[in-house]
Structures are given as structure tokens and as C-alpha cells.
């Protein structure tokens, strides 16, 4: 039976958050959703999802969430997204350890590709750290 990946979505835009959750559930992912970085942190600690998909600009700040996830679980992929890319956003995300950075809208092939890359990187890192798997 294939592994069901869990994804935590953190976005203050309720319509986008709900649309992402619906699309991801339809593709077979387990999904939890948070309206800000504070709620996302609580859900992350409770559920330890396989991947975090977070808005960069929301209450509590997506970069803060990225730093916390990296500190708690360095191998968990974090994909940051934004509707309004500012100069330096991609560099800040990369330096913070983000797995990917997407400009909204993200539903569709761009999202599927980003998820596939993130889970492939995660699997590779796990195999590299434990060759017996």
C-alpha cells in the first residue's frame, strides 16, 4: 500500500487555504490547515506532517515558521509561497532552508511538481542518512 503523505497548509487567505486543501485531499494527501504561523506551529508539533506549505506573509510570519520547522525537524520539506514576491524573498527563503518557493496561484502542475521535488529530496536525504532503508 503506498504511503499517504501528510501536508500542513498555513495561509491567512481562507479561500486559497480551502482550495489547496481540497485539491491535495483529492490527490490522496492527508491535510491539516492553519490560518497563521502560530496555529501552524501548534499543528506541526501535534501532527508532525511530512511537508509544510506556507504563505510567507501572514500573521506570525512564514519565515518564522520555516525557522521553527527547521529547528524542530530539519528533514521536513517546507515550501514557501507568496502572492506578491518582493526583492530578496527567494534568497531569504533559500538561506532559511526552504525546499521551494512558489508565486501564487500555486494550484495545478506547479504545485504537483513542487511537491514531487520536495518528497523526492526528502526520500533521498533519508536514504543517504540510513543506507539500510
Q: Model confidence over 45-63: pLDDT tens digits?
A: 999 999 999 999 999 999 9
Q: Give yes or no for residue 4 having a pLDDT over 80.
A: no
Peptide bond into 63 cis (omega under 30): no
Average pLDDT over the chain, rounded to an integer: 90
pLDDT at 1: 36
What confidence tens digit (pLDDT) does each residue in 64-108 have? 999 999 999 999 999 999 998 888 999 999 999 999 999 998 878
CA neighbor of 2 nearest in space, from 30, 37, 22? 30
| Fold category of 6-129 in CATH | Rossmann fold (3.40.50)
Please state the rounded mean pLDDT for residues 11-34.
95
Amino acid at each position: 500500500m503506498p504511503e499517504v503523505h501528510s501536508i500542513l497548509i498555513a495561509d491567512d487567505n481562507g479561500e486559497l487555504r480551502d482550495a489547496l486543501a481540497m485539491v491535495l485531499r483529492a490527490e490522496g494527501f492527508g491535510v491539516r490547515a492553519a490560518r497563521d504561523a502560530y496555529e501552524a506551529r501548534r499543528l506541526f508539533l501535534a501532527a508532525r506532517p511530512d511537508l509544510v506549505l506556507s504563505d510567507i506573509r501572514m500573521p506570525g510570519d512564514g519565515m518564522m515558521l520555516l525557522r521553527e520547522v527547521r529547528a524542530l525537524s530539519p528533514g521536513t520539506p517546507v515550501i514557501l509561497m507568496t502572492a506578491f514576491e518582493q526583492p530578496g524573498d527567494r534568497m531569504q527563503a533559500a538561506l532559511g532552508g526552504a525546499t521551494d518557493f512558489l508565486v501564487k496561484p500555486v494550484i495545478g502542475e506547479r504545485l504537483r511538481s513542487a511537491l514531487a521535488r520536495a518528497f523526492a529530496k526528502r526520500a533521498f536525504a533519508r536514504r543517504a542518512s540510513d543506507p539500510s532503508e
